[in-house]
Amino acid sequence: MTQQIIIVTAASFGTLSVIFGAFGAHALKKILSTDQLQSFEVGVKYQMYHAIVLLALGLQPNFTTAAIYWCFTIGILLFSFSIYGLVLSDAKGKKLRFLGPITPIGGLLLVSGWFLLLIHFF
């Protein structure tokens, strides 16, 4: 995994996190219930946290552990984006229930990325 790919991925996820956060705070505020809005915000926060970690990793000159990159990248996609899909589909009255089991798989990948990061630096 090259530094450029890691930084571009981090910047893309960071950008989308800000856009989705603003979208949730303004456009969805009138559509979503308080619980739905809080769930949406969890997805946004976790996406941003992991975008920042990816950015930090991308700025490390000798960082080449592709497994950590992929755990965080796929974890963000499965965790945060499944939450977005669940919340938005529920708000429209047609909850995409198949996304429910995907969220914890994404969470497990995020945890795995952190664990691999810990191992990498030991």
* pLDDT tens column, 27-56: 998 899 999 999 999 999 999 999 999 999
What CA–CA distances, in Å, run from 30 to 26, 42, 74, 84, 103?
Answer: 8, 18, 30, 16, 25
pLDDT tier, 122 (very low <50, low <70, confident <90, very high otherwise):
confident
pLDDT (0 to 100) of residue 1: 74
Only one residue has tokens 């950008």, namely: 15
pLDDT tier, 120 (very low <50, low <70, confident <90, very high otherwise):
confident
Cβ partners under 8 Å of residue 58, min gap 6: 3, 4, 6, 7, 9, 10
Domain positions in the chain are 3-121
pLDDT (0 to 100) of residue 54: 95
Measured distance CA(43)–CA(79) in Å, rounded: 7
